[in-house]
Amino acid sequence: MANKAAEPLSLHLAELTASQFLDIWNKFDADGNGCIEGTELENFIRELEIARKTASADTSNASFKDRMKEFMQKFDENGDGKIEMSELAQILPTEENFLLCFRQFVGSSAEFMTAWRKYDTDRSGYIESNELKGFLSDLLKKANRHYDDKKLNEYTQTILKMFDLNGDGKLGLSEMARLLPVEENFLLKFQNFKLSAEEFEAIFNFYDKDGNGYIDEHELDALLRDLYRKHKMVVDHQSLASSKKSIMALSDGGKLFRTELEIVLCKDPSV
């Protein structure tokens, strides 16, 4: 009987389209933090049930509770009682599932920043549709996915639809970082900073002690420590080292120029 109960869930989930997934997700992840929990999670799963036109979406129903428990066992990979977008990506049919493909080859924030540097070819702080198309093409080749140009254009537009929060037709760093699992999205820690151009210029000049026009790893370490303290964030050695490694992945041979650091600390296209 247990196998029978599990079967309908998998079958119904496979019927969900990327468009349905996106609409429902955005409704419940209202704060854009990349995860849903508690009552939001119950309401989210109920909406999924309605979208898939299942027999009952009544949260008081015992069978719904069972399905919810099964749902969490299936998708809450890190067991934190929350569901992340990257965890829930397993819902999407294989041909529409870019998130799992991305996660397979760009699983850490440092790998993500290295990829960003490669595909933000004009150093604008955005990945535009043509750059995103190149990124997806390489990603699909790594995953041994077969596609034609028409399908690649369709994939590009789908990613834009899913992650382009302000609808400007391109992805900013913070928008693209939503592809990462929440614990790897170090940019979430910097959301409180949001430096103005003037503040950034003053900070950059202060920490560029030797005035050579770039910040090295040691200068970045001092900058981050002071920013953490200023915003009353715990200066955790492991977290600091991870953030530093991710940011330095943008650097040119260990030299972090204004443009690269500005992308992290200033530009926030989702606002």
pLDDT tens for each residue of 84-130: 766 776 666 555 566 666 766 676 788 888 888 888 888 788 888 88
**CATH label, 94-182, candidates 3.90.1170.50, 1.10.760.10, 1.10.238.10, 3.30.310.10:** 1.10.238.10
HEC-encoded secondary structure of 71-93? HHHHHCCCCCCEEEHHHHHHHCC
| Mean pLDDT on 151-164 | 79
Strands 35-37 and 214-215: unpaired
Share of the chain above pLDDT 70, in %: 74
Please, which pLDDT band fits residue 223 given cuts at 50, 70 and 90?
Answer: very high
Predicted confidence band of residue 60 (pLDDT cuts 50, 70, 90)? low
What topology is assigned to 186-265 in CATH? Recoverin; domain 1 (1.10.238)
177 has a pLDDT exceeding 60: yes
Q: Does position 54 have pLDDT exceeding 60, yes or no?
A: no
**57-66, 201-210, 225-234: which range is least confident on average?**
57-66
Calculate helix-pair angle for 109-119, 129-142, nearest 10 degrees: 130
> pLDDT tier at 6 (50, 70, 90 boundaries)?
very low
Residue type, 137: S
Residue bearing the bigger pLDDT, 204 or 184: 204
Residue 26, token pair as written in the block: 């955005």
Tell me which residue of 77, 5, 88, 6 sits closest to 41, measured CA to CA: 88
Average pLDDT, the chain: 76
Confidence of residue 252 (pLDDT cuts 50, 70, 90): confident
pLDDT band at 52 (very low <50, low <70, confident <90, very high): low
pLDDT tens figures, 10-36: 334 445 665 566 667 777 877 667 788
CATH superfamily of 2-91: EF-hand (1.10.238.10)
Q: What average pLDDT does the segment 148-166 reach? A: 80
Q: What is the mean pLDDT of residues 162-181?
A: 79
More confident position, 147 or 172 = 172
What pLDDT, on the 0 to 100 scale, is given for residue 107?
Answer: 67
What integer is the mean pLDDT of 158-187? 78
Topology agreement, domain 94-182 and domain 186-265: yes
Q: Where are the domains of the chain?
A: 2-91, 94-182, 186-265
